Each structure stands twice: as C-alpha cells, then as structure tokens.
Structure 1
Amino acid sequence: MVFKAISSLKIKVELKPVVDNLVFRLHYRYTYIIFMTSCLLATLYDAIGDKIECITSVDSDSFSDVVNSYCFIMGTFTVDRLHGQKPGVNTAHPGVGPQQPGDELTYHTYYQWVPFVLFIQGVMFYVPHWLWKKSEGGLFRVIIQDLSISDYLGSNLQNYSGRKERFNALSTYITHHMNAHRSWAFKFFLCELLNLCVVVGTLFFTDWFLGGEFLTYGTSVFEVVKLDPENRTDPMSYVFPRMAKCTFKSFGPSGTIQIRDVMCLIATNIINEKIYLFLWVWIVLLTTVTSVWIVYRILTIVLPFFRIFLLKARANSAMSSEVSKVMRMASLSDWFLLYNLAKNMEKTVFSEFIQHLAEDLTPSTDTLPLKDIESKSIL
C-alpha cells in the first residue's frame, strides 16, 4: 500500500537545458575522462614493479639505483636491425642485442613524459566546452526557463497550466530579437570546429611524440594478432619496448672511463602499450565521428531547406505549415535557437509553441488602415 501511494504521486522533474550535442560531449566529458584516467594509470608503477630496472655487473644497490635513474631520465635505445629476429638466437629480446657499426638505433625517451602529455591533452579536450560556457553565459537557460520540463503531472503535458504564459514570453522574446543571436550561434559552431582541431592535433602530436609510429600503431597491432607468436614482430614491443639497452659511463678506480652496456626492463611500458592502443582506437573513432558531424554542421549552415527539414522532424507533422511560416522569417541563428528549444522540450510542447510563434509572426490585419483591408478583400 505504501509503495502504491508513493507511485501515485506526480513529481515535477526539470532537466537542465543544454545546447551542446552528443559529439560535443564525447570530447569534453568522455574523452577528457579517458585521458585523465590514462594519466593516472601511467603513474601506477607500484602495481607492476619499479618503473625501470637495469641489469648491472656491479654488486651495489646504490650503483644500481644510479644506473636506473640515469637510464630512465636519459632514455634507452633498441637496434632496428634486431627487430623481427627470433629472440634467443641473435637477440636476447626484440631489438636488444650486440650492435654493429652503421646500425640504426631508435632512442626511447618519451616514457617519463607520458603522464604529463596525457594530462595536457585531456585538458585540451575540455577547453572548447569551457570557452563555450564562458561565452554563452547561461543565455539559453534563461530563454527556455521552465519549458524544458520533461515530466510534469505524469505523461500528460497538457496539465502544465503555466505553459501559455511561458509561450507568450518566449514568443515575444524571439519576435523582438530576430537575428540577434548570430554571435551566440557562431561561437558554438566555432567551438565545434575547435573540437575537430583538438582531436586531429592530438592524433598527429601523439604520432610525433612516439617517433612517428602512432598513426599506424593500431592497424599494425591488429594485423599481427592472428599470426604465430613465434614468428611475428609485435608492434607494441617496437614502439613500447619492455626490454631495451642503455649505455652508462663512469670512472673506474684508476680514473679511466668505464662504459657499461646494460639491459633494462621498462615496466612502465607494459601499461603504456595498452593505454595507447585504446587511445588509438578511441581517437580514430572520435576523429571520424567529429568529421562527419562537421559535414552535417556545414550542411545546416549552407542549406536552408535542410534546416527546415530538421526543425519539422522535431515537431508534430500537423505543424509542418507553421514551421515553414516561421522559417521564412528566421535566419540561421534563429533556426539554431529554435532547434535547441525543440531538443529541450517535449515534442507536443514544442509543437504548441511553434504554433503560437507562427501566429505571432503572422501580420495581423487589425492594425492595417481600413482602405488596405478593403483592397486585400477585393484581391
């Protein structure tokens, strides 16, 4: 009985009106969280051991600590010629083995910068949203006011007794501010374009950061998944080697320079390789989706009939003629405002409003001179 009584109560639920869209939220919400989580994971060295551990012939913990710190800061390297060869024959590990004069070396100095780069990239994905919120200043929320109600006294929105007053206020505002939101709309379009610039810039910057290997990193990994593990070259071991070489120079007991060619286990790369494989998939998908969305945005800007079609899809089919009347007097920025109003209203409520707005925008004959009314009736 208690639950039945509670379920019979009708509670007003007001949604926070928003102008942005799913693609926009993929950037400042989901991608931002992904990069910040990746930044945190890249610093969890304790979960896998020390960030780097080098094998030395000196039985001294302090000496080993110095070598570990030096190789982590200065970087390690692998021999390009030894990649793809079977470990245990000519190499101890992929890319790790005796080097010969003329061999090309790949130096790995990025891993100490990974958490910082991931953090900065995550912030960059949030910047367009921050710029939009600063420039928008809550204008849309003030305009729509309580018309964003999605559930009031049940599913019957006709019970929303205050909608007529809201319709009058909103219709009056729009009719008196036609084409006055151009700056507001184009700032949003600019932020959408900035989202595309950020994701494309992230793609190419990460490729540069990882030595030109990121653009093809994901496809290379997926291509070798089905191959025999004994006869394949793992792209992850090439971009993120778990074992690498490091040259450490020091003075011996007599003051002569001793050169030690040490082999180092880079434990942090065990996490980095997984992080960047996921980021590759996500960024490629996000770049594709954002590019398609920008094409859609360009179509809405240059094709008026496309804008009319989109607005009609947000209203009841019976309001098709009213939408056409409104759009004959509406600019691009007016359409953008109306379309976002439609997104934040129930379809029935927006249909009522668009009918109300069409009536307000239709010139009334009550204010025309008598001779003009007579001439119109003759025609």
Structure 2
Amino acid sequence: MSGIIYEAFKRIHSWACRSDDDFADRLNYRYTAMMLVITSMLVSAKTYVGDPIHCWTPLQFSGAHVDYTNNYCWIKNTYKISHIGSLLPDKDVDRQESEIGYYQWVPIVLVLQAVLFYIPCLIWRMLNSNSGINLHRLTAAVEDVVQNPENRDKTVEFMVRTINRCLKSQKDTRKGLIQKLQDKLAQNCCLFCGKRYGNYLLPLYYLCKVLYIVNAIGQLYLLNSFIGSEYNLYGFQVLRDLINGTDWTESQRFPRVTLCDFYVRERGQNIHRHTVQCVLPINLFNEKIYIIIWFWLVILAGITIFSLLRWFYTMCFSSRSKYIKEYLRLVGDYDPDVDRNYVAKFADNYLRQDGTFVLHMLDINLNDVVMSEVISGLWEHYKENECVPLSGFHIPGATASAPNQDDVKDPNAPFSHRGNGAVSKPGGDDSNVSQRRPPDYKS
C-alpha cells in the first residue's frame, strides 16, 4: 500500500516539475496549489493542536463541563448575532439560519481548492501525450541545453530529429478535394481539430487555459455556498471599507463572538437548555486567509485571461511565417528573393499549428541563438526532404526536373540561394557547385 502511495506521489511530482506550459499555467497549478496546501496545514495546526474555540460557561460548571461545552459547540456549530447588544432569536429556526458551519472544514476545503487548481494541468499532461509530439521530452532537452551548454549541438540535433519525426507521424496521406478543404479549414479557423489536421495540441491548450479561468472565477462563487454569504463581493466591500476609513475586520462573514445552545439532562426528566457565548480565535485567521485568497483569485484570473489572449493573438493573428523568418535571419539562412514563398509553405503546410505551437513553447525557455538553430535545422530538413520547388527556383536537396538548355547556356543567370551563404550558377559545372549538405536529421 505504501509503495502505491509513493509511486502516486512520485508521478504527481514528476508531472508538477515539467515545463511544457507557460508561467500563467504554473501560477495556477503549482504556486497557487502549493500556497493553498501550506495554508491548510497552518489552519489545521491552529484548529487541531491549539484551542479553536473558547466558551463562557456558568460559574457552576466544572472543568469537565467546560471541556464538554467547548467540544460540543465546536462540533455542533455556533450561530451569530448582528451585534452584542441585539436580542437573541426566540425561535430555533431563526437560530439555525444564523449558524456558522464552515470553520471546522476550512483545512479540507483549502486542500480541495488546491486539487481543483491541479485538474486542468492533469488534463493537459494526460492528453498532450496523445498528440504524437512528445512535448515533455523536448522541454526536458531545453533544460539540458541550459544546464549543459557543451552538449548543445547534440541536443539541438535531437530536438530537430524528434520534431520532424512527430510532424511526420501527424501527416495525413489521404488526398482529395474534401481532404484539402478540411485541411484549409483546420489551418485557418480550427473548424476541424485533430492530430492529422495538425491542430490537436493548440485547441487542447486553449481548453486548459479556459479551465484555469473558469476554476479561478468559479471558486469565488463556490465559496459563497461554503461561507454562507456573498463572498464574490467580499473584496470590493473590504476596499470600500478601507476607502471610507471604517474597520473592515468587523465582518459578519467571520464573526469572532458567537452563541451556542446545548441541552443538559438533569435529575429526573428535566432537560435544561444552556445558551453560552463563545469566542472563535480561528476566525481571525480565516478572515485574513480568505481576503488574501479573494484578491489572489481575481489577480490570477486576470493573468490567465491575458495569457490566453496573448496565445490566441500569437497563434491566430500573428504571421507564422514572419516568426520563422525572424529566426532564420539570425543564422543567415533566409533570402527574401528566393525563400519567401517556401517559408510560408514551411510554416503552414509542414509545421502547421501544432508545430508552430511547439516552437513557441520551446521559445519560452530557450535563448534566441539556440532557438534559431532548431528552426534552421527544421528548415534545412524541409528543403532537403519535403520541399517541392516552385518554377524558376532551385532549393538545395529538393528534387527538380532537368534544367532547360537555354537557361544552362545563359552565363548571366541569377544565383540561387543555398541556405548557408553558398551560391551556384544554373548551368555551371557540378564540380564547382559548393553545396552544404545538412546533417541527416531523419530518425
């Protein structure tokens, strides 16, 4: 049994330490969940180790009676009154409606809140492994580049080879007008989603982002039923009290002084009801915790919404080919006169949405130099194995038909780009052609 628990915690720890997401995601499932668990431990220590409640009992009560009263009122719940000078409710129904029943469950609820923050992360980790793109291995390789710069070349080659293999595994070999239409709709508006359309990871990531947002906002309203008041407006009311200069700690949501009713059977058939006044020191702590949680949930929802909009803009409105060109220029592997159309096809037809998403995710953790080497390696592999040359251009490594004899005899024919600065004249002697062959990145 202990071995199963250990393996479960080991698996959860390995998932929590992965970096196949951005900072906003880690704020949700890692730092927020950790904060809630630590807070739960502190409240538990105060609740179960200290004295969470003190009741003012009649003078004739012995020590055993006092302990019984404190324990009973802690378990049974207490009820609040508007202020100390107000009259007690006469009816039991009115007293029950004013009961405070949450303070015993605060540690457990805090842990459940932490679990809710971790659920979108579990969904992302479990489902992204089905995409064919092992994002975890790629991000682990990124960490290896950072920690061991001397292994950079081997690691970059591994990353290029892995991405190429994954992109090929997603490729749909079916042809036809319907298939082309579906690919176009999947490429532009995500109307079709799936691995063979090249947009499985991105919609899944959007979904997990939305789950983080729904979780953060939803917890504000779920806590209403737990605390028993308009908790979703709590922060605004605290700010109003601070602006007006009133004491924001005098809150009816977390009363310090409450009342408790219990019955004592005396000799014979006499049953006597006692009403005692109790102090809840734990509510002083709970109040500070939940005001911090309120502001944190609002800030967290705002950060996650901004992150979702930023990803949406980057992947849908920002040009994917422009992103590729910026990095190819860093290594001198882009010629606007020759490569412009090829880069667009490389981004839209070869990388597609999932490939571009993976590059953006790696870009979060890599510097520009290493990232440009990865994209350059993918670009060279594409020209070598996947590219179908357009009329009038020659791409190194691409299969092309024999040149026209008139073009061969023209000594003033334009130079063709080689991707690494080397050029050759169409029609020249093949022995004079200086052509760089990139390493074989195929698995």
The interval holding the TM-score normalised by the smaller chain is 0.7 to 0.9
**CA 1:200/1:316 → structure 2, altered by over 3 Å: closer, same or farther?**
farther
Residue in 2 aligned with 1:374? 404
Contact kept in structure 2, 1:24 and 1:192, CA below 8 Å? yes
Deviations 1:269-293 (A, max 9, x none): 1211111111111111111111222
* Cα deviation, residue 294, structure 1: 2.4
- 1:121 counterpart residue number: 113
Quick one: distance in 1 between partners of 2:284 and 2:219?
A: 22
Deviations, residues 311-335 of structure 1 (Å, cap 9, x unaligned): 6677766667676453232321121
Q: Structure 1: which 5+ runs fail to align? A: 1-15, 83-90
Instruction: Give the superposition deviation at 1:62.
Output: 1.9
Q: Are the aligned partners of 1:311 and 1:339 in contact in 2 as well (CA < 8 Å)?
A: no
Residue type of the alignment partner of 1:249:
Y
Paired position in structure 1 for 2:3: none
- In structure 2, C-alpha distance between the alignment counterparts of 1:182 and 1:129, rounded to whole Å: 19
Segment of structure 1 superposing worse, 191-200 or 318-327 = 318-327
| Matching of residues 212-291 of structure 1 within 5 Å | 212-225=229-242, 232=246, 234=248, 236-291=250-305
**Could you say which residue in structure 2 is the equivalent of 1:61?**
63
| Partner amino acid, structure 2, of 1:333 | D
Q: Take 1:307 and 1:67, find their aligned partners in 2: how far apart are those partners?
A: 69
Matched, 1:194 2:189: no
Amino acid corresponding to residue 129 of structure 1 in structure 2? C
**139-148 vs 255-264, greater mean Cα deviation:** 139-148
Of 333, 354, 362, the residue aligned with 1:333 is 354
Are the counterparts in 1 of residues 321 and 347 from structure 2 also a CA contact under 8 Å? Answer: yes
* Mapped contact 2:261–2:273 kept (Cα < 8 A): yes
Q: Is residue 17–residue 344 contact of structure 1 (8 Å, CA) maintained in 2?
A: no
What CA distance in whole angstroms lies between the structure 2 residues aligned with 1:241 and 1:215? 18
Q: How does 1:1-379 map to 2 (within 5 A)?
A: 18-45=19-46, 49-57=50-58, 58-80=60-82, 82=83, 91=84, 97-99=86-88, 106-137=98-129, 139-143=134-138, 146=141, 149-150=145-146, 152=148, 160-162=152-154, 165-166=157-158, 169-170=161-162, 172-173=164-165, 176-177=168-169, 180=195, 182-225=199-242, 232=246, 234=248, 236-303=250-317, 305-308=318-321, 324=344, 326-329=346-349, 330-362=351-383, 363=387, 367-370=399-402, 373-374=403-404
Give 1:26 shift: 0.3
Q: What amino acid sits opposite 2:347 in the alignment?
A: M
Letter in 2 for 1:42: V
After TM superposition, the structure 1 stretch with the greater mean CA deviation from structure 2, 254-263 or 355-364, is 355-364
Once the two structures are TM-superposed, the CA of residue 221 in structure 1 deviates from its matched residue by 2.3
Identify unmatched segments of 5+ residues in structure 2. 1-16, 172-194, 414-443
**Shift in CA distance, 124/312, structure 1 to aligned 2, threshold 3 Å:** farther
Structure-2 separation of matches of 1:233 and 1:168: 61
Q: How many angstroms apart in 2 are the aligned matches of 1:250 and 1:17?
A: 58
Relative distance call for 1:77 and 1:162 in structure 2 (3 A) is closer
Aligned partners of 2:156 and 2:373 also within 8 Å: no
Give secondary structure in 1 for the equivalent of 2:112: helix
Cα distance, 1:23 vs structure 2: 0.5
Query: Mean Cα displacement is larger for which, 243-252 or 142-151?
Result: 142-151
Contact 2:22 2:361 in 1 (8 A): no
Q: What is the DSSP-based 3-state SS (H/G/I as helix, E as strand, rest coil) of the residue aligned with 2:230?
A: coil
- CA distance in 1: counterparts of 2:241 and 2:49, whole angstroms: 25
Per-residue deviation, 1:226: 5.7
Cα RMSD for the two superposed structures: 3.6
Using the alignment, how far apart are the partners of 1:145 and 1:110 within structure 2? Answer: 43
Q: CA deviation at 1:266?
A: 0.8
CA distance in 1, matches of 2:44, 2:152: 53
Partner of 1:173: helix, strand, or coil? helix
User: How many residues matched?
Assistant: 341
Q: Summarize deviations over 1:21-56 as a string: whole Å, max 9, x none.
A: 001000111101111011112112279951111112
Q: Structure 2 vs 1, CA of residues 357 and 187 (structure 1 numbering), >3 Å: closer, same or farther?
A: same
- Following superposition, the deviation at residue 377 of structure 1 comes to 5.7
% same residue: 25
Give the residue type in structure 2 aligned to 1:335: T
**Counterpart Cα distance in 2 of 1:375 and 1:54:** 104
CA drift at 1:182: 3.5
* Partner Cα separation in structure 2 for residue 283 and residue 248 of structure 1: 38
What code does the residue aligned with 1:269 have?
A: N
Once the two structures are TM-superposed, the CA of residue 348 in structure 1 deviates from its matched residue by 1.2
Q: Evaluate the alpha carbon distance shift between residue 99 and residue 162 of structure 1 in structure 2; reply closer, same or farther with a 3 A threshold.
A: closer
CA distance in 1, matches of 2:156, 2:57: 82
What is the CA-CA distance between 1:20 and the residue it aligns to?
0.4
Whether contact under 8 Å (1:41, 1:271) holds in the other structure is no
Residue identity opposite 2:404 in structure 1: E
- SS of the aligned residue for 2:261 comes to strand
* Shift of residue 201, structure 1, vs aligned partner: 2.2
Does the 8 Å CA contact 1:171/1:360 hold for their aligned counterparts?
no
Q: Which whole-Å CA distance do the structure 2 matches of 1:300 and 1:49 have between them?
A: 52
CA distance in 2, matches of 1:145, 1:267: 47
* Change over 3 Å in CA distance of 1:49–1:376 after alignment to 2: farther
Please give the alpha-carbon distance, in whole angstroms, between the structure 2 residues aligned to 1:302 and 1:338. Answer: 15
**Distance change (3 Å), C-alpha of 1:226 and 1:19:** same
> Which TM-score applies when normalising by structure 1?
0.76
Q: Which moved more, 1:179-188 or 1:126-135?
A: 179-188
The one-letter amino acid of 2:115's match is V
- Maintained 8 Å contact 1:221/1:236: no
| DSSP-derived class of the 2:44 partner | coil
